[in-house]
Structure 1
Amino acid sequence: MKQFDFVVQASVGIHARPAMQLVNLTRKFQSNIKLSYNGNSANAKNIVSVLMLRANQGAEVVFLINGPDEEEAYKQLQEFCETNL
């Protein structure tokens, strides 16, 4: 299992467009990918679940990645977060 923390930098938080981009990215992987914030957990492959986290600017979110391609998912998700969130 891989895990990393990320602080949302975008002034609007994780809103519709970056959330959909995130979901599209996570769906490319076989691994289970969860996103946690403020005691709540979301399936990172489900747009409604991600949006319901309501992660605003400054929110510290945790990605949990578990599965056969977790290493590649970990790398790509870190890159995505740094440039889009």
Structure 2
Amino acid sequence: MKEFTYTIQDPQGMHARPAGKIAAIAQSYPGRVTLWKGEEGVDVKKLLPLIGTNLKQGDTVIIRVEGENEEQAASSMEAAFKENI
């Protein structure tokens, strides 16, 4: 398992456009990608639950990657978060 912590930078928080890009990248990996905010986790591969996290600028989340190619997947996911949100 690989994980990283990220603080939302986008003033608009999590909304459809960045969530769609992040979900698409997560879907390209066979393993599991989960976003944790506090005690609640959502599957990053599923767009609606990801949007439903209602993340705001300044919120800190943990992204966990498990399964095949987790090192590469974690690196790609971290880059996707930095580029999109």
TM score, norm. by length of structure 1: 0.95
Q: Please identify runs of 4+ aligned residues in structure 1 that moved more than 4 A.
A: none
| CA-atom RMSD in angstroms | 0.8
Deviation of residue 35 (structure 1)?
Answer: 0.4
Q: Does residue 17 of the first structure (1) align with residue 17 of the second (2)?
A: yes
Q: Does residue 75 of the first structure (1) align with residue 44 of the second (2)?
A: no
The amino acid that maps onto 2:15 is H
Deviation of residue 45 (structure 1)?
Answer: 0.3
Deviation of residue 49 (structure 1)?
Answer: 1.1
Q: In the TM superposition, what are the counterparts of 1:1-80 in structure 2 within 5 Å?
A: 1-80=1-80
CA contact (8 A) 1:4 1:63 kept: yes
Cα displacement string for residues 1-59 of structure 1 (whole angstroms, at most 9, x for unaligned residues): 00100000000111110001011000000110000113221000001110111111101
Structure 1: tracts of 5 or more residues without a match: none
Structure 2: tracts of 5 or more residues without a match: none
Tell me, in whole angstroms, the C-alpha distance in 2 between the residues paired with 1:37 and 1:55: 9
Question: Aligned pair count?
Answer: 85
